[in-house]
């Protein structure tokens, strides 16, 4: 598979009628049934899918991404009938969450069925399942008529892809087929919630917040392993290894705005004195200030503090832009850890390898 020529890229309009019947969808679904891998858009990020019931097919995901095989994958379904193929039982609590949030960016950890390929769950007796809220993803999975295991469609460790071009940059020639369905809307991965424990545990923050979940089922907790200094091993996809990282070294500076600005300038001057190309990542409220400063080579604003969902939407694309400009040292402001801000900061801390300076 890795010796092939360029990946075939096809464009699909997610708004067309009878999407399942589009030739591009039919061809992609055929590849999935035949044990191949296909990249496709979801409402969170682009995914790289394979038949979740076939170890041989799933192995191609790990090979293409360069992903460790002890890192479990999420299974995507198009309707609730497929859920019976993937899990042994669905609790009353899980049913309430499914009714509230599916299709949508919530992955539920449930007891896995014997049909699910062992490589999907990395040997665990549970499996993460979600129903994506994207017409192209749903049409592809429904047409394939198999549940689809799909991590993000990028090289392992790099920022997740939110456009087909990001996928092509990372995986061209490593996968046979890429469906371009436009830019992903949410921009960060799904929330992963373990409903097999009491109280339910958020293993990965994502597009659905803890507050939204609690409003449906009551108490939920964050996995202690999500704390950078917890000393525990995360149990959710994408949380175990260095992830979401740009090529350059990245530092986060947290604290009062005035003190943050002073520290960021200090770090930038130090990087420049070492001959490094520098970049600054800030919310748009601070962009004009930094653009007026001559201390950074590149300034990127990635959304508004007043609307943190815009930061989530633009985060991965911003990190990839630093790579395009070959930035070697990235200094970033942080965002408040409330609501979707918890998800944003989780991804930023992973991208920075835990390099956070508090002032």
Q: Give residue limits of the domains in the chain.
A: 8-226, 249-358
Q: The whole model's pTM is what?
A: 0.93
- Kindly report the CATH number that applies to the domain delimited by 8-226: 3.90.870.10
Say whether 221 counts as a known binding-site residue. Answer: no
Q: How far apart are CA 290 and CA 211, in angstroms?
A: 34
Is a pLDDT exceeding 80 seen at residue 6? yes
243 is in an annotated binding site: no
The 3-state DSSP composition of the chain as helix, strand, coil percent (nearest 5) reads: 35, 20, 45
pLDDT tens, residue by residue, 24-52:
999 999 999 999 999 999 999 999 999 99
The per-residue pLDDT for 2 is 44
CATH number (3.40.50.11030, 3.40.309.10, 3.40.50.1220, 3.40.5.50) of 249-358 reads 3.40.50.11030
Is 126 labeled as ligand-binding? yes
Q: Mean pLDDT, the chain, as a whole number?
A: 93
Distance, in Å, from the CA atom of 34 to the CA atom of 202, rounded to the nearest integer, reads 35
Q: What is the tens place of the pLDDT at every residue in 283-319?
A: 999 998 888 877 899 999 999 999 999 999 999 999 9
- Banded pLDDT at 230 (limits 50, 70, 90): very low
| Between 328 and 2, residue with greater pLDDT | 328
130 annotated as a binding-site residue: yes
pLDDT attached to residue 236: 58
**Cα–Cα distance, 212 to 214 (Å, whole number):** 6
Using CA atoms of 227, 101, 55, 114 in order, give the dihedral in degrees to the nearest 10: 100
Task: Identify the pLDDT of residue 170.
Answer: 96
* 76 is an annotated ligand-binding site residue: yes
Residue 71, annotated as binding a ligand: yes
Q: Write down the pLDDT at residue 4.
A: 55
What are the tens digits of pLDDT across the range 165-206?
Answer: 999 999 999 999 999 999 999 999 999 999 999 999 999 999
67 is in an annotated binding site: yes
Handedness of CA 309, 189, 342, 256 (dihedral sign): negative
């Amino acid at each position: 598979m890795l010796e092939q020529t360029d990946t075939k890229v096809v464009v699909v309009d997610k708004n067309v009628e009878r999407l399942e019947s589009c030739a591009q969808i039919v061809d992609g679904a055929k590849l999935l049934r035949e044990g191949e891998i296909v990249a496709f858009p979801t409402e969170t990020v682009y995914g790289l899918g394979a038949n979740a019931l076939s170890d041989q097919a799933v192995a191609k995901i790990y090979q293409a991404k360069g992903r460790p095989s002890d890192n479990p994958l999420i299974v995507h379904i198009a309707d609730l009938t497929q859920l019976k193929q993937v899990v042994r039982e669905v609790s009353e609590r899980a049913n309430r969450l499914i009714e509230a949030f599916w299709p949508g960016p919530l992955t539920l950890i449930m007891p896995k069925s014997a049909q699910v390929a062992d490589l999907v769950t990395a040997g665990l007796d549970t499996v993460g399942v979600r129903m994506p809220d994207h017409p192209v993803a749903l049409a592809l999975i429904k047409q394939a008529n198999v549940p689809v295991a799909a991590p993000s469609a990028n090289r392992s460790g790099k920022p997740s892809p939110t456009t087909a071009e990001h996928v092509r940059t990372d995986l061209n020639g490593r996968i046979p087929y890429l469906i371009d369905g436009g830019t992903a809307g949410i921009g960060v991965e799904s929330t992963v919630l373990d409903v097999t424990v009491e109280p339910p545990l958020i293993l990965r923050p994502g597009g659905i917040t803890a507050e939204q979940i609690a409003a449906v089922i009551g108490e939920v907790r964050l996995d202690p392993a999500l704390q950078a200094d917890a000393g525990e091993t995360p149990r959710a996809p994408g949380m175990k290894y260095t992830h979401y990282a740009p090529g350059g070294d990245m530092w986060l500076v947290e604290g009062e705005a005035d003190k943050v600005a002073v520290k960021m300038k200090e770090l930038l001057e130090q990087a420049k004195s070492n001959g490094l190309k520098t970049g600054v990542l800030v919310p748009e409220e601070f962009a004009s200030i930094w653009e007026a400063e001559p201390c950074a080579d590149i300034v990127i604003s990635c959304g508004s503090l007043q609307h943190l969902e815009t930061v989530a939407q633009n985060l991965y694309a911003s990190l990839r832009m630093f790579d395009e400009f070959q930035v070697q040292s990235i200094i970033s402001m942080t965002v408040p850890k409330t609501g979707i801000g918890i998800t944003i900061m989780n991804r930023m801390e992973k991208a920075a390898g835990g390099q956070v300076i508090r002032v």
